[in-house]
Structure 1
Amino acid sequence: MTVHEDLAEGIWDDIREDPEEAAAVFRVQKMHTGGDLDDEGLGSAYANSLGSSARFQPSRWPVHQTAAFAYLHALVGGGQVAYVPISTGGTPGPDADRIGNAELLRKTCRPFHAELDMTQNGADFDGTLEWAEKIRLERGMGSYYYENACQNTKQSRLTYLATTGASWAPLEVGDSWPSRTLMHLAQFGAVARWPYGSKFILLFVNFGWGPQGEVRSSWEDNSTADLT
């Protein structure tokens, strides 16, 4: 088992001690499998950026990966992790088509610059995403609202704009387990995901989870709403 899977196992071990938290994991799984986390503009890119697998449908994931996914979603909803979608030149092709994928990444929206590792040779991630100026991200306020009174109405997050300074993030292309996304957030304080089927890279920045999040929060955000 890899280090990031060990991290997910530890998260699940903690969650299952509390029946309510354990039940919440499977409620998020139901939302995931039912498409309730899809977005009108991004489609399934948000959910697939948290984690995806070509081999297994979300309903058949190992339970620790389901827990890692739900934990990530909670971090985003609570504002500990903020994100921003970034347009590229198209959807990623197979891992073997590194030249084609690199060409699509050359069209990544400024001020972002995405670069693919053309050899990878056992590297911990597929490439890098860099930005040389302050950027804005969508950060959750820890609250939700319902668009109407119907029992099965969609739940939407209340958000505001947060900022972070020039930096970089590891880039993961295609499929990647939720536990790997969490590991990058813990280790680097940020992660960029370009999942299959998406024209967008989703950059996630850790604003308050663990030591890396504490560092990032002290840089720029100051935990105040920026509504201008």
Structure 2
Amino acid sequence: MADRLLDDLLYSPAAAAALAQARRHLRGGVVEVEAVDRIGQTHKGPSKWLPSQAAAYLRIFTGLTSGEFAQVLVPLGTAPNLDSERQANQAALDGLHSTFRATVDTAQDHADADGQVSWSIPITVDQSTGVGLPEAAGVRPGTRPVSVPSGGVPLEIGYTMPSRTLHHLLVSGGVARWPYHHEHLCLFVNLQPGSSRARQARQEVSAS
């Protein structure tokens, strides 16, 4: 998916220029580290990402700024342990707000994620309006609250590639990210038609 996306971007001069700028920002540490970690986090950092991973990052970033994707931070109060310490991570996730139910896959035998996060009632996420709001420190992206029906999404703990986050957004309708050193769970959802059905289908499988 990421390689195909890279090819598509390079066909367009404007998209290729945007990708080059994104790579410069990732290498130079211009972008907010916490925001990058939510999209993708690797041991060597985003400055070492392959062009295909930078393309996946850019696709998610533009999806968030355009309102195609939305997000919400859910407080946990603790950062994750190593991905392999699944029981400890499950114990921490049990402290999530009662709206959410998080399950760590203890086996993870060829699983498509580290677990799942689901919710049984509608939740509110922040969608970009595409309009910047001026502040003393610069321009802050404007957002509006959007209600998302009950559903479920894959859970990715610690390190993960941007391409994997993008895959979950496009195929499963969203993903819950809990990066290392972060005390919030970041829930990304795809707001495009059909994505809600994918989240509901995942919730039904989890409940069965």
Give the letter for the 2:160 counterpart.
S
Corresponding residue of 1:96: 84
Aligned-pair identity in percent equals 30
TM-score, length basis structure 2: 0.87
Q: Does 1:86 align with 2:59?
A: no
Give the letter for the 2:166 counterpart.
L
Q: CA RMSD in A?
A: 2.0
Mark the CA change 1:126 to 1:48 in structure 2 (over 3 Å): closer, same or farther: same
Q: List aligned pairs for 1:40-189, cutoff 5 A.
A: 44-54=33-43, 56-148=44-136, 154-189=138-173
Corresponding residue of 1:24: 18
Kindly indicate whether the alpha-carbon contact (under 8 Å) linking 1:78 and 1:140 is maintained by their aligned counterparts in 2: yes
Q: Which runs of 5+ in 2 are unaligned?
A: 200-208
Distance in 2 of aligned mates of 1:31 and 1:162: 30
Corresponding residue of 2:205: none
Mark the CA change 1:50 to 1:127 in structure 2 (over 3 Å): closer, same or farther: same
Kindly indicate whether the alpha-carbon contact (under 8 Å) linking 1:89 and 1:106 is maintained by their aligned counterparts in 2: no
Count of matched residue positions in the alignment of Structure 1 and Structure 2: 198
Please give the per-residue CA displacement for 1:40-64, whole angstroms capped at 9, x wherever unaligned.
xxxx33211111111x321221101
Q: Which runs of 5+ in 1 are unaligned?
A: 1-6, 39-43, 220-228
TM-score, length basis structure 1: 0.80
Kindly indicate whether the alpha-carbon contact (under 8 Å) linking 1:76 and 1:82 is maintained by their aligned counterparts in 2: yes
Give the letter for the 2:109 counterpart.
N
Distance in 2 of aligned mates of 1:14 and 1:121: 33
Distance in 2 of aligned mates of 1:89 and 1:156: 26
